[in-house]
């Protein structure tokens, strides 16, 4: 695990997020699609520099990305 908690958002990372967004749109309605959309929203917020819930230490309850 890296010592730094800083995430470097490079153009490649941003492009990867856009590819994931397109891929999720093509999925049929399902629990997986809902969780994937939650993960994308979470990553997008993180890339924008918004604070993470619980300072990123734990996954908050009622978040779609982790079960």
Mean pLDDT per 10-residue interval, the chain, length 67 residues:
71 91 93 90 85 64 55
- Domain-located, residue 63: no
- Domain-located, residue 35: yes
Question: Any idea what the Cα angle at residue 48 is, between residues 27 and 61, rounded to 5°?
Answer: 65
Count up the domains in the chain and report the number. Answer: 1
Report d(CA 67, CA 47) in Å as an integer.
Answer: 22
User: Residue 50, class by beta-carbon neighbours within 10 Å (0-12 exposed, 13-18 middle, 19+ buried)?
Assistant: exposed
Longest C-alpha distance within the chain, in Å? 39
Give the residue numbers spanning the domain of 17. Answer: 12-56
pTM attached to this predicted model: 0.68
Cα–Cα distance list, 63 to 10, 17, 52, 54, 67 (Å): 26, 19, 12, 12, 8
For residue 13, the model assigns a pLDDT of 87
- Domain-located, residue 16: yes
- Domain-located, residue 39: yes
- Domain-located, residue 25: yes
For residue 52, the model assigns a pLDDT of 72
For residue 26, the model assigns a pLDDT of 94
For residue 67, the model assigns a pLDDT of 46
């Amino acid at each position: 695990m890296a010592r730094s908690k800083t995430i470097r958002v490079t153009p490649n990372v941003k492009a990867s997020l856009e590819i994931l967004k397109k891929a999720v749109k093509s999925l049929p309605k399902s629990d997986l699609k809902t969780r994937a959309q939650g993960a994308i929203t979470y990553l997008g917020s993180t890339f924008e520099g918004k604070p993470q819930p619980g300072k990123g230490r734990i996954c908050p309850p009622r978040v779609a990305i982790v079960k």
